[in-house]
Structure 1
Amino acid sequence: MDGTWTRDETRLPAQLRGLRLPLVGSPMFIISGPDLVIAQCKAGIVGSFPALNAREGAGEAPLLDAWLTRIREELDRHNQANPDSPAAPYAVNQIVHRSNTRLERDIDICVKHEVPIWITSLGARVEVNEAAHSCGGITLHDVINNTFAKKAIEKGADGLIAVAAGAGGHAGMQSPLALVQEIRSWFDGPLLLSGAIASGASLLAARAMGADFGYAGSPFIATEEANAEAAYKQMIVDSTAEDIVYSSLFTGVHGNYLKGSIRNAGMDPDNLPGSDPSAMDFGNRDKKPKAWKSIWGAGQGVGAIDDVVPAARLIQRIGDEYRQAGRRLAAEFGG
C-alpha cells in the first residue's frame, strides 16, 4: 500500500496497535479458515475465524488445535522473514450461546495457544473474558444496540463490535450513525463497526463516526483463500444491496442473506416466514434442513465487490481507497 496513516494509538490495547490498515476481517461461518486468516494477517489486518469452523470427525484430535498451531507457526515464519512488515495478530470467534456444547473445550484450546484476540458472539459471559485475560488476550464482543454494549463491558469485555444495519450474517437494524454515537457517548475503548464496509471510503466513514476500526466480512468471501463455493463467490460479485434480504428464518436471529441463494433453494425471498431465538442450535448444525445449507450470507456492501481476487489484493485496494478518500477530505479542510 502506498502512503502511510498515523494516529494516536495509546488508548488501544497492544494487540490492536500498528496495523497497516484499521480493519478487522470478521469471522464467517464455513468461509473463514486458516488460509484466509493467514493471508489477512500477512497483509496487515486482523484475520479471524469461528472456532466452530474447525470440525473434526468422531474420534479425531481437535481440529481447532491443529488450525491454531498452523496459523501461529506460519505467522511466526513470516515475521522472522519480514521483520519490517510483521503480520497482524489473529482472532478466534467464540459463540457463547448455551447450545454451543464445545465452548468449554474450545476455550481451553485457545488459552493453550495464547490466542491474542477473542471475538465473542450471542451472549456476554464473564468466564470467557476471564479465560482470554488469563493468557494475555483481549475480548471484543459484538452487539446490535447500546443496551447489549453496556452489558458486555460490565461483564469484562475489552472492546465492542457495533453490528449495524447492512452487516452480513447476523445483523442489527440500527443505523451505524446512531449506534456508534450512542456507544461513544459513554465508551472510550476499542470500537469496531460492522455494516456494509467493503471500500476504503466506507472504512474512512466508519473512522469519521468514531469507530477505531472497520469490521468486514462479505468482501472476503470473494477472495481466492475463502472456503466458499465458486458459485457463492460469483454471486457476491454479481449482487448489489438490492439483492440482500433480512430474515430470521434460517438461524432464529435476523441476518442478511443473498436473495439468489434463497431462490435457488426453492423459496421466495420476498415472502419468508419468521423464526425466533429458540430455533438457534450451535451444538448440531447438521439438523438444519438440507435446502438451507446453500443459503448464503452477505452484507449490503456487496455492490463494491467486482471480482474474485487474492485477499492481499483486496486489502491493497481498500487501503488505496482509504488513503485517497482521506486526502480528498483533508483538502476540503485545508489539511
Structure 2
Amino acid sequence: MKDTATKPDLHPNLQGLRIPLIGSPLFIISNPDLVIAQCKAGIIGSFPALNAREADGEPPLLEAWLKQITEELDRHNQENPDNPAAPYAVNQIVHRSNGRLERDLEICAKWKVPVWITSLGARVEVNEAAHSCGGVVLHDIINNTFAKKAIDKGADGLIAVAAGAGGHAGQQSPLALIREIRSWFDGPVALSGAIACGESLLAARAMGADFGYMGSPFIATHEANAQDEYKQMIVDSTAEDIVYSSLFTGVSGNYLKKSVERAGMDPDNLPSADASSMNFSSGSSKPKAWKEIWGSGQGIGDVKDIVGAGELVDRVAAEYKAAGKRLAAEFAG
C-alpha cells in the first residue's frame, strides 16, 4: 500500500494510509475486530476507550484490547512488509463525569497509542499524556471557537464535526466550518459529516481537510458490534430518516427515526435536554430506557449492503480514485 493519501508534513502517526480516511469511534459498536480490519484495509481505525468495560474485580479490558490490536497489527506488518497496516486511534471522553479517564490515560500511554481522539472538553493533562508516549491528539469540535480552545490547550489537530455527522454533531455547514478553521490553522484537520463514499471524501480534501472521518457506514459491517436490526436499519434508511435531538444524551446529535419510533416516541416532537444530563460515570450518557435509540449520520443513503469493513474501504478507495481522475481531467491542459 503506497502512501499516496497524506501530506508529507503531517505527524508520522498520521501517515502511511491507503486513502485519507479515519474510521470514527462508534459507541458500543467499535471493537478490536473492527479496528483491526480498518487498519489492515489502510485507514485509521478507532474505538472509544469506554467501549472496553469489564466486570467489577476483573482486570481492565482496555489493556486486553490494546494488546490484541497491537499484536495483531504487528503480526500483519511482519507478514506484509509491502502492505503495512495503518495506525489506530483511541477515543477518550474527557467530560468530568468520566471517572475512568485517569486510569485509561495511563493504560493508553503504557501501550503507546499512536493517535488519541478527544471529545467533550479539551484538557491540557490529556494532551500531555498523549505526547508523553509519542502520540498525536485530534480533538473533535463543532465550531471555530471550540477549535481555537482545543489548540490553545495543546491538541495537535482537529476533527470538525459538521452538520450531518452521526452521533453528537454540530449544525454548521462543512463548507463554512473548514474554511473558518483554515483561516488560522494549518495543522491536521479531519472532516466529519455525512462522508460515506469516495466522492464525499474527495470533497472534504478539496475543501481543505486532510482526512475524512467516517462512522455510520461501518455500523453495517460484519465486524461491527451492532444488532442485526441496527445494521439493516442503516441499509434501509436515507438522510430523510435521520432526526437531530438533544434528548437522549444532553448533547444534540443525529439518530435513526425508525429506532425512535420503535421506542414509542414521536421523532417529530421530541423534547430537549441540556448538557447537565450528561453522565459518563458508568461508561455511557444514554439511559437504559433509550439503549435502543440508534445513532447515524445523514450519509447512509450510500450504504446498500452489510459487508466486511475491508470491502467497504475498497469501495470508498475505488470511488475516491475515480472521482479524482474525473476532476483532474477537467483541469488538464
Report the TM-score range of the alignment, normalised by the length of the smaller protein.
Answer: over 0.9
Instruction: Report the residue type matching 2:329 in the other structure.
Output: A
Cα deviation, residue 94, structure 1: 0.2
Instruction: Report the residue type matching 2:9 in the other structure.
Output: R
Of the three residues 111, 114, 121, the one matched with 2:112 is 114
> Quick one: distance in 1 between partners of 2:70 and 2:222?
21
Whether the aligned pair in 2 keeps the contact of 1:33 and 1:53 (CA below 8 Å) is yes
Partner residue, 1:131:
129
The normalised TM-score by structure 1 is: 0.97
- Whether 2:223 is the aligned partner of 1:225: answer yes
Cα deviation, residue 290, structure 1: 3.2
Of the three residues 248, 251, 262, the one matched with 2:249 is 251
Whether the aligned pair in 1 keeps the contact of 2:4 and 2:17 (CA below 8 Å) is no
Q: Any idea what SS the aligned residue of 2:324 has?
A: helix
The normalised TM-score by structure 2 is: 0.98
Residues 312 and 189 from structure 1, CA distance in 2 versus in 1: closer, same or farther, beyond 3 angstroms? same
> Quick one: distance in 1 between partners of 2:86 and 2:3?
16
Cα deviation, residue 17, structure 1: 1.2
Whether the aligned pair in 1 keeps the contact of 2:77 and 2:84 (CA below 8 Å) is yes
Task: Give runs of aligned pairs for residues 39-188 of structure 1, distance below 5 A.
Answer: 39-188=37-186
Whether the aligned pair in 2 keeps the contact of 1:153 and 1:159 (CA below 8 Å) is yes
Cα deviation, residue 26, structure 1: 0.2
Instruction: Report the residue type matching 2:186 in the other structure.
Output: D
> Quick one: distance in 1 between partners of 2:153 and 2:201?
29
> Quick one: distance in 2 between partners of 1:129 and 1:36?
26
Q: Give structure 1 stretches of 5+ with no counterpart.
A: none
Residues 7 and 222 from structure 1, CA distance in 2 versus in 1: closer, same or farther, beyond 3 angstroms? closer
> Quick one: distance in 1 between partners of 2:280 and 2:65?
20
Partner residue, 1:14:
12
> Quick one: distance in 1 between partners of 2:284 and 2:71?
32
Cα deviation, residue 50, structure 1: 0.2
> Quick one: distance in 1 between partners of 2:189 and 2:10?
10
The one-character-per-residue Cα deviations of 1:143-162 (angstroms, maximum 9, x if unpaired) are 00000000000000000000
Residues 287 and 99 from structure 1, CA distance in 2 versus in 1: closer, same or farther, beyond 3 angstroms? closer
Partner residue, 1:192:
190
Identity %: 75
Instruction: Report the residue type matching 1:12 in the other structure.
Output: L
Q: Any idea what SS the aligned residue of 1:55 has?
A: coil
Partner residue, 1:210:
208
The number of equivalent residue pairs is: 333
Whether the aligned pair in 2 keeps the contact of 1:11 and 1:189 (CA below 8 Å) is no
Residues 72 and 8 from structure 1, CA distance in 2 versus in 1: closer, same or farther, beyond 3 angstroms? closer
> Quick one: distance in 2 between partners of 1:84 and 1:35?
22
Cα deviation, residue 291, structure 1: 2.9
- Whether 2:310 is the aligned partner of 1:293: answer no
Q: Give structure 2 stretches of 5+ with no counterpart.
A: none
> Quick one: distance in 2 between partners of 1:15 and 1:234?
34
Of the three residues 288, 311, 317, the one matched with 1:319 is 317
The one-character-per-residue Cα deviations of 1:10-56 (angstroms, maximum 9, x if unpaired) are 22000111200100000010000100000000000000000000000
Partner residue, 1:235:
233
Partner residue, 2:25:
27
Whether the aligned pair in 2 keeps the contact of 1:143 and 1:160 (CA below 8 Å) is yes
Whether the aligned pair in 2 keeps the contact of 1:161 and 1:194 (CA below 8 Å) is yes
Residues 129 and 237 from structure 1, CA distance in 2 versus in 1: closer, same or farther, beyond 3 angstroms? same
Of the three residues 34, 37, 50, the one matched with 1:36 is 34
Q: Which runs of 4+ in 1 moved over 6 A?
A: none
> Quick one: distance in 1 between partners of 2:127 and 2:152?
11
Cα deviation, residue 287, structure 1: 8.1
> Quick one: distance in 2 between partners of 1:6 and 1:251?
39
Cα deviation, residue 76, structure 1: 0.3
> Quick one: distance in 2 between partners of 1:252 and 1:191?
26
> Quick one: distance in 2 between partners of 1:8 and 1:117?
15
Whether the aligned pair in 1 keeps the contact of 2:6 and 2:15 (CA below 8 Å) is no
- Whether 2:261 is the aligned partner of 1:282: answer no
Partner residue, 2:268:
270
Cα deviation, residue 261, structure 1: 0.3
> Quick one: distance in 2 between partners of 1:260 and 1:122?
27
Instruction: Report the residue type matching 1:114 in the other structure.
Output: K
Cα deviation, residue 96, structure 1: 0.1
